[in-house]
Structure 1
Amino acid sequence: MLTFLALAMIIVFIVLLSKKKLSVFAALTLVPFIFGIIAVFVTDSSILDLFQWIKEGIFYKVNSDTGKVSMGVISPAITILFSILYFDIMLGVGLFDPIAEFFIKKAKGDPMKVLLSTVAVASVVSLNGDTTTTIIICVAAFLSLYKQLNLKLSYLAIIIAAPIGIWNQLPWGGPTIAAATAIGVEISDLFAALLPGLLVAQVAVVLVTAYLGKKERKRLNFNPRDAKMVSKEQLDKMLSAIRDNQPELKRPRLYWFNLILTLGSLAILIKGDIHGSIIFMIASVVALAVNYKTVEECNDRIEALADDVLPTTIVTLGAGVFSGVLTGSGMATALANSIAGIIPTSLGSHMAPIYAVIAAPAITFLPQDAFYFGIASVIKGVMLQFGITPMQAAVASMVGQSFRLISPVIPALYMLCGETKQNFVDFQKEYIKYFWVVLVVYLAVYGITGALPY
Structure 2
Amino acid sequence: MLTFLALAMIVVFIVLLSKKKLSVFAALTLVPLVFGIIAALATGHSLLDLFKWIQEGIFFKLNAKTGKVSWGVISPAATILFSILYFDIMLGVGLFDPVAEFFIKKAKGDPMKVLLSTVMVASVVSLNGDTTTTIIICIAAFLNLYKQLNLKLSYLAIVIVAPIGIWNQLPWGGPTIAAATALGVEISDLFRTLLPGLLAAQVVVILIAALLGKKERQRLNFNPSSTEKVSQEHLNQMLSAIRDNEPELKRPKLYWFNLLLTLGSLGLLIKGDIHGSIIFMLASAIALVINYRNVSECNNRLEALAEDVLPTAIVTMGAGVFSGVLTGSGMANALANSIASIIPTGLGSHMAPIYAIIAAPAICFLPQDAFYFGIASVIKGVMVQFGITPMQAAVASMVGQAFRLISPVIPALYMLCGETKQNFVDFQKEYLKYFWVVIVTYLVVYGLTGALPY
SS of 1:278's equivalent in the other structure is helix
Moved more, 355-364 or 73-82: 355-364
**Uncovered stretches (5+) of structure 2, i.e. residues with no partner:** 144-155, 172-179, 186-192, 363-370, 415-427
Moved more, 434-443 or 301-310: 434-443
How big is the shift at 1:306? 1.0
How big is the shift at 1:83? 1.4
**Uncovered stretches (5+) of structure 1, i.e. residues with no partner:** 123-133, 165-172, 179-190, 192-197, 381-393, 408-412, 424-429
CA contact (8 A) 1:138 1:160 kept: no
2:61 alignment counterpart = 61
Structure 2 counterpart of 1:403, which letter? S
2:397 alignment counterpart = 403
With over 3 angstroms needed to count, the CA separation of the structure-2 counterparts of 1:121 and 1:252, relative to structure 1, is closer
| 1-structure distance, mates of 2:309, 2:266 | 19
SS of 1:45's equivalent in the other structure is coil
How big is the shift at 1:104? 2.5
Deviations 1:37-92 (A, max 9, x none): 11111221111111111111111111122111111111111111111111211221
2:208 alignment counterpart = 210
Deviations 1:335-393 (A, max 9, x none): 11011111256xxx566557864686599557989756x4345446xxxxxxxxxxxxx
Is 1:283 equivalent to 2:283 in the alignment?
Answer: yes
Percent sequence identity is: 54
2:338 alignment counterpart = 338
Structure 2 counterpart of 1:43, which letter? T
With over 3 angstroms needed to count, the CA separation of the structure-2 counterparts of 1:330 and 1:316, relative to structure 1, is same
How big is the shift at 1:293? 2.0
Deviations 1:259-289 (A, max 9, x none): 2222222222222222121121122122222
TM-score when scaled to structure 1? 0.65
Structure 2 counterpart of 1:326, which letter? L
With over 3 angstroms needed to count, the CA separation of the structure-2 counterparts of 1:323 and 1:405, relative to structure 1, is farther
2:257 alignment counterpart = 257
| 2-structure distance, mates of 1:275, 1:443 | 29
CA contact (8 A) 1:399 1:442 kept: no
Structure 1 counterpart of 2:90, which letter? M
CA contact (8 A) 1:79 1:280 kept: yes
Aligned partner of 1:113 among 113, 116, 128 = 116
Structure 2 counterpart of 1:239, which letter? L
CA contact (8 A) 2:332 2:378 kept: yes
Q: CA RMSD in A?
A: 5.1
Moved more, 350-359 or 35-44: 350-359
How big is the shift at 1:113? 2.5
CA contact (8 A) 1:204 1:437 kept: no
With over 3 angstroms needed to count, the CA separation of the structure-2 counterparts of 1:208 and 1:19, relative to structure 1, is farther
Moved more, 362-371 or 35-44: 362-371
CA contact (8 A) 2:107 2:117 kept: yes
Is 1:304 equivalent to 2:304 in the alignment?
Answer: yes
TM-score when scaled to structure 2? 0.65
How big is the shift at 1:105? 2.9
Deviations 1:183-235 (A, max 9, x none): xxxxxxxx9xxxxxx98x957993699389969x99xxx97959963223212
Structure 2 counterpart of 1:210, which letter? I
Structure 1 counterpart of 2:255, which letter? Y
2:320 alignment counterpart = 320
SS of 1:259's equivalent in the other structure is helix
CA contact (8 A) 2:93 2:250 kept: yes
Moved more, 104-113 or 247-256: 104-113
How big is the shift at 1:147? 5.8
CA contact (8 A) 2:352 2:392 kept: no
SS of 2:336's equivalent in the other structure is helix
2:166 alignment counterpart = 159
| 2-structure distance, mates of 1:295, 1:442 | 46
2:83 alignment counterpart = 83
